[in-house]
Chains A and B, each alone.
Chain A
Amino acid sequence: MTLRRALLSATALFALASAARAEGELHLYIWADAIAPELIAKFEAETGTKVTVDAYNSNEDLLTKLQAGSSGYDIVMPSQHFVRIMIDEGLLENIGASTLPAFAQVDPKWQKQWWDDTGDYSIPFAYGTAGFTVNRDQYQGPVDSWKVFFEPGPELQGKIALLSYPDEVVGAAELYLGVPFCSEDPAEMKKVLDLLMAQKPYVAAYTSDNIENRIGGGEVAAHFWWDGNSMKTRANDGAHIEYAMPKEGLVGWLDSLAVPKGATNLDNAKAFIDFLSTPENATIQYNYYGHASPVALEKDKMKYTPENAPELFPTVKVEFSRACSPAAQDLVTKVWTQLLQ
Chain B
Amino acid sequence: MSGARFRPDFRLWGLLPAWVIMGFTLILPIGIVVLVAFGTRGAYGGFGWGFSGASFQQILFQKGWTEELEFNPQYLEIIARTLWLAALTTAICAALATPVAYYIACQPPKRRAALVYLVTLPFWVSMIVRVYAWLIILGNDGVIEKSLRAVGLVEDIDSLLFNNTAMLLGMVYSYIPLMILPVFASMEKLDGTLIEASHDLYANRWVTARRVILPLARPGIVAGAVLVFVPCLGAVLEPILLGGGKQMLMGNLIQTQFGGGRNWPFGAAVAVVLMALVMLVLMINALRTRPAGEAAA
Q: Spell out A's residues near B (CB within 8 Å).
A: 1, 3-4, 58, 60-61, 63-64, 67, 85, 88-89, 158, 161, 164-167, 186-187, 189-190, 200, 203-207, 209-210, 213, 217-219, 323, 325-326, 329-330, 332-334, 336-338, 340-341
Contact = CB atoms under 8 A, between A and B. Distances in A.
Given A165-B260, A329-B262, A219 B140 contact: yes
Interface string B55-93: 000000010011100000010011000000000000000
Q: Closest 4 CB pairs between A and B?
A: A205-B244, A333-B261, A60-B259, A340-B248
A217 B140 contact: yes
Given A186-B67, A204-B244, A329-B261, A4 B256 contact: no
B245 A210 contact: no
A326 B43 contact: yes
A72 B78 CA distance: 37
B253 A337 contact: yes
Contacts of A334: 62
B46 interface: yes
Contacts of B241: 207, 209-210
Interface of B: 41-46, 49, 62, 65-67, 74, 77-78, 132, 135, 139-141, 158-159, 161-162, 240-241, 244-248, 252-253, 256-263
B69 to A, nearest CB: 13
Contact of B240 (A158, A209, A329): A209
Contacts, number: 111
A333 B43 CA distance: 14
Contacts of B260: 58, 60, 165-167, 329, 332-333, 336
Contact of B162 (A186, A204, A332): A204
A167 B132 CA distance: 25
Contacts of A89: 44
Contacts of A340: 245-248, 252
A209 B240 CA distance: 9
Contact of A217 (B62, B74, B139, B259): B139
Contacts of A333: 256-257, 260-263
B163 to A, nearest CB: 9
A330 B263 contact: yes
Given A1-B49, A337-B253, 14 more contacts: A58-B259, A60-B45, A67-B45, A67-B46, A190-B65, A206-B244, A207-B245, A219-B159, A329-B261, A333-B260, A333-B262, A336-B256, A337-B256, A341-B247
Contacts of A3: 49
Nearest to B47: A67
A172 B179 CA distance: 45
Contact of A63 (B44, B139, B162, B253): B44
Nearest to B236: A164
